Structure 1
Amino acid sequence: MMEPQIDSLHARSPLLPDRHPTPDLFICDIVDAAPKGDMASMEHPVFSLATKPDLRARRYDHGDNWMEVKPSADGLATIHDRDILIYCISQLVHAMNQGRPLSQIVRFKGVELLKATNRMTNGRGYDLLKAALERLAGTRITTNILTGDKEITRGFGLIESFEIVRETRDGRMQEVEVKLSDWVFNAIQAKEVLTLHRDYFRLRRPIERRMYEIARKHCGRKQEWRISIGLLRKKCGSTSTSKEFKRLVRKVVDDDQATDHMPDYRVRLDERGGGDDDIVIF
């Protein structure tokens, strides 16, 4: 009884459908929250890859940088919750490029965010958006990682607060205000941002999104970039065993070889006898 379900799953496109097709390329600037000059923030696993509530506090150390991330009762902010930050940062970068003054408070219509990030615009889409806002505000971070050459010495949320300014008659959030943390806002002011491909929002699996972010940070204009699978696992913030993580990476590689679904980059796996020395190539 299980085999047809597995075959059906494998036949499914690795990408989510384009729910809101548009003729214009959606360009989205994302925060590169890192020491200026190091530009390593996309290496640091701020967001959980879990698809169920992740209630585990964690610490990440890399070189001289460290970060502690603690969940609220709703769990850690997930990599899909990051969509909200991406959208808010895009709005502020756009305003900055137009010479308009910046504010830590971003006001937007819920439906515009849902469409821009390829999310559902039905009732469930709004419910998921509210839950994501709760996790972003509830997840607390302590770190020595600088943004805009400034260190935030107190604990902070990825967003400091949010307010549903106006709702429709059926209770859907019509307008929302989000106050970004100083840590994120400092990065925007310092122009520590990178650009994401629109199809980032169509990647189904959390590991694919995280792999894309890491590649986006490191590849630049290089023809290829290599990383050991052990280090990739660390930078992804994966809690899977080494064996399971390699299986997940191999699935991404196999899908990309078959469908070329990963935005901007092709992905290969150079297996060197197993273990953490295997190399992932973008």
Structure 2
Amino acid sequence: MSELPFPSRSPLLPERHQPDFFVADIFDATPKGDQASMEHPLFTLSTKPDMQIQDYRHGDIFVKVGPSPIGRATVHDRDILIYCISQCMARLNEGREVKKTMRFNPHDLMVVTNRDSSGRGYLNFRQALKRLQGTQIETNIQMGGKEQWNVFSFIDKAEIIRETRDGRMQEVEITLSDWLFDAIEAKGRDLLTLHRDYFRLRKPLERRLYEIARKHCGQQKSFRIGLERLQEKTGSQSQAWEFKRLISKIIEDNATHGHIPQYDFVLDGEFVDIFKRPDAVLDAPSRPYVVSDDARLKAKKFAKGWDIYALEAEWRDWVSSKGIDVHSADAHFINFAKQKGPIKR
């Protein structure tokens, strides 16, 4: 009797963290990315220092990206910008003020973006900040409705406010570029929602495929693109035959595992067909708001005197009216109860 083969390992990175009840509001900010970075190759695919100048043109659009002293900003460095954009948009949705300069705990970012939070992870985070600040972009891409020639870095400044003796940053302050902040001030016109599993995609080329699919196949069922054009958009420096091999392998893996969220891909000669899955949900909350009895008990400890079910109904109305994508209903409801506090007699 022949033995059944073991199923192959999922290409997705494992989920490295479980959300903390008391950072639920941070974790539940819907991931948002700027459309310019999704459509054009602003970030390098290389995992080694990339000292090349990226010169990209399409029609009237041009992008020239020069490296920092330690290389160009990478696709994985972009996690930091996605986190900052997402937190700003969450604040705007709640009617709060946002500023170019924001302060946060790097560990919260690592949890949200599924990054390694070991000592090496903090070192990588520091290097990412240096690349984001040192990489120089020259472009005429519109942002926030402003069409003009620009030279800028992704972030203007990064500062460590507090850190432990072993070098783990506890608080950092980042100042976003005007170019990126324009997209935030435009209240999302130049932004798109990203699936949370984006942060679990292991390969930079997989992330670029998802970004391009999300940008060009967002409101339609399918999109066709030539391999040569796709390679230009991804920023891949591979030979054409090697790029086709890499794309073919990713498409094969995705056919087996469906690990690239929301989209399927078919290689048809020198073209790639992108299909939005029938069950793909892009801009709506991805999880039902089901609160457990255990969470209600914990919430009552923070919101003494409240009718817990009435409080839960108020919470549901609030997240619905704000369009908040609740990742963990239990954690988010407990945090909501904590903010309410006990009824004052």
**Structure 2 alignment gaps of length 5 or more:** 1-5, 276-345
Q: Which runs of 4+ in 1 moved over 4 A?
A: 22-26
For 1:224, the aligned partner's letter is S
CA root-mean-square deviation: 1.8
Q: Does 1:100 align with 2:96?
A: yes
Q: How does 1:215-234 map to 2 (within 5 A)?
A: 215-234=213-232
Q: Provide TM-score, normalisation by structure 2.
A: 0.73
For 1:212, the aligned partner's letter is Y
Looking at CA atoms only, which structure, 1 or 2, has the larger radius of gyration? 2
Q: 1:32 — aligned with what? A: 35
Describe the SS at the equivalent of 1:266: strand
8 Å Cα contact 2:119/2:167 also seen in 1:
no
Pairwise CA distance, 1:204: 0.6
Pairwise CA distance, 1:223: 1.7
Q: Distance in 1 between matches of 2:175 and 2:135?
A: 14
Describe the SS at the equivalent of 2:222: coil
Change (3 A) 1:280 1:25: farther
8 Å Cα contact 1:148/1:189 also seen in 2:
yes
For 1:236, the aligned partner's letter is T
Q: How does 1:201-240 map to 2 (within 5 A)?
A: 201-240=199-238
Change (3 A) 1:91 1:254: same
Q: Distance in 2 between matches of 1:20 and 1:26?
A: 16
Q: How does 1:226-265 map to 2 (within 5 A)?
A: 226-265=224-263
Pairwise CA distance, 1:25: 6.7
**Structure 1 alignment gaps of length 5 or more:** 1-7, 34-40, 272-276
Describe the SS at the equivalent of 2:65: strand
Paired positions, count: 262
Q: Distance in 1 between matches of 2:91 and 2:28?
A: 18
Q: Provide TM-score, normalisation by structure 1.
A: 0.88
Q: How does 1:108-123 map to 2 (within 5 A)?
A: 108-123=104-119
Change (3 A) 1:177 1:25: closer
Change (3 A) 1:279 1:153: closer
Pairwise CA distance, 1:154: 4.4
Q: Does 1:17 align with 2:14?
A: yes
Q: Distance in 1 between matches of 2:267 and 2:253?
A: 12
Superposed CA deviations along residues 119-175 of structure 1, whole A, max 9, x for unmatched, are 111101100100000000000011111111224544210111100011123221110
For 2:258, the aligned partner's letter is D
Q: Distance in 2 between matches of 1:59 and 1:167?
A: 38
For 2:151, the aligned partner's letter is G
